[in-house]
Structure 1
């Protein structure tokens, strides 16, 4: 388990190699290129735009050095100050986005990434979508993707999830709503798998991505089964304790004889 992901710490450190190199390498500044590379790999537009701003700033500083070189003027002092500020700000931004960058790379191993405006906006969008999710829409989406997806194994897993969720919903609607918060991501995974199927591509990338998503869905079905089982077990324990209290009350009132 790593600091920011479920991958190993060695994996995380290997992915941040250029970030550390940028911090250690004071001259020349490479943080704009590192950020640009990370933005491309993680497909975050805000980081890509910021990388260009930093790069243009570096070009401006290099031009200022060229203009003021040879004289310790106020312009040269301001340029040196800008150079130091650029180093601190640029590498600070790389460290700040390191966690989100690693999480995006981890996600890329499960499904192909699509370009997003920013990590913050994407999280807000996902939270809003989850907030709008209801048991009815959740079931409808599961059944829709079961019909659209051709993989028989995934169809069986979806059947299992639907059956377990409906069982839970009948017993406790509030717990069913909490279930959506814990397992609502299943719909997103099915959506991604359906999109991969619709590409009708059978190259190494798509086949590996589909295989990984199949594994995630299988694990999700197993986890959901365990989740529902634990909830039922907890409820049975509560009922058992309540029954014992009830029987004891009847005995105390001489309404029931000891066996």
Structure 2
């Protein structure tokens, strides 16, 4: 598992290829490439503030390039300020890229589970993940919460059950959007249970009360995964029965038209 996601470290490093290239390219040709990396990451992760920052820094780099052309061939104060601006821009831009590594990777991980929706900032995403479920989740937020607590909790069995729940929910959502919304109502408690488990785990209490509480919450998550699997299985079974009835009528119609022999 990687340092920011449940994906392998090799996957994480591959997603950060252009971040490393940006850091390596200290000399601008004619501008640094970090604004373009920012814009690409903003588009993939769908975070508006990152896009705005990328545009702003690209304009700064273009301004510095224009200044460089204007003062080219001289050792004036303007040229020295331009070169200093290039260095400052490089440090700030690549510093932002490094600071955004974790949320960027987590957004890409989520994108492999379901399509992303645009959000204002990465910080707003984190706040939403950790808020109590006072209101009904959207499908994307529900998955984000599960992935967040999967990363926070150090329990392999819970990791496996969370992965199972995410997979089952994805199957249900693909099949029936309305049933997926009902699913969120029925199983919203799962996120609250994970939140409470993480709270107990972080307390580092090893007394009997903490141990029993964690065990009970582990059992709740395990039973929830079993129940959700049965629920999704029932949905697919109902769909198969509907198709079976339709095909029976179709075959009988073909026989009635003498297009098919018994």
TM-score, normalisation: structure 2: 0.54
Tell me how far apart the structure 2 counterparts of residues 150 and 34 of structure 1 sit (CA, whole Å): 32
Offset at residue 25 of structure 1 (A): 1.0
Residue 225 (structure 1) aligned with residue 246 (structure 2): no
| Partner residue in 2 for 1:132 | 134
Tell me how far apart the structure 2 counterparts of residues 223 and 110 of structure 1 sit (CA, whole Å): 24
Closer, same or farther in 2 for the Cα pair 1:80/1:96, shift >3 Å? same
| Partner residue in 1 for 2:69 | 66
Matches within 5 A, 1:5-16: 5-16=5-16
Offset at residue 224 of structure 1 (A): 1.8
Larger Rg: 1
Secondary structure at the residue paired with 2:120? coil
Can you give the 5+ residue segments of structure 2 that lack an aligned partner in the other structure? 137-168, 198-218, 227-262
Residue 2 (structure 1) aligned with residue 2 (structure 2): yes
Tell me how far apart the structure 2 counterparts of residues 89 and 149 of structure 1 sit (CA, whole Å): 41
| Partner residue in 1 for 2:195 | 181
Matches within 5 A, 1:195-206: none
8 Å contact kept, 2:3–2:9? yes
Closer, same or farther in 2 for the Cα pair 1:162/1:132, shift >3 Å? closer
Closer, same or farther in 2 for the Cα pair 1:10/1:27, shift >3 Å? same
Deviations 1:49-104 (A, max 9, x none): 00001100000000010111111011111001000001111101000001110000
Can you give the 5+ residue segments of structure 1 that lack an aligned partner in the other structure? 135-144, 166-175, 184-221, 230-259
Q: Give the alignment's Cα RMSD to 1 decimal.
A: 3.6
Aligned length: 164
TM-score, normalisation: structure 1: 0.55
Closer, same or farther in 2 for the Cα pair 1:150/1:80, shift >3 Å? closer
Match 2:100 to one of 73, 97, 100: 97
Closer, same or farther in 2 for the Cα pair 1:33/1:150, shift >3 Å? closer
8 Å contact kept, 1:39–1:48? yes
Secondary structure at the residue paired with 2:38? helix
| Partner residue in 1 for 2:20 | 20
Offset at residue 132 of structure 1 (A): 2.0
Runs of 4+ in 1 over 4 A off after TM superposition: 148-152, 226-229
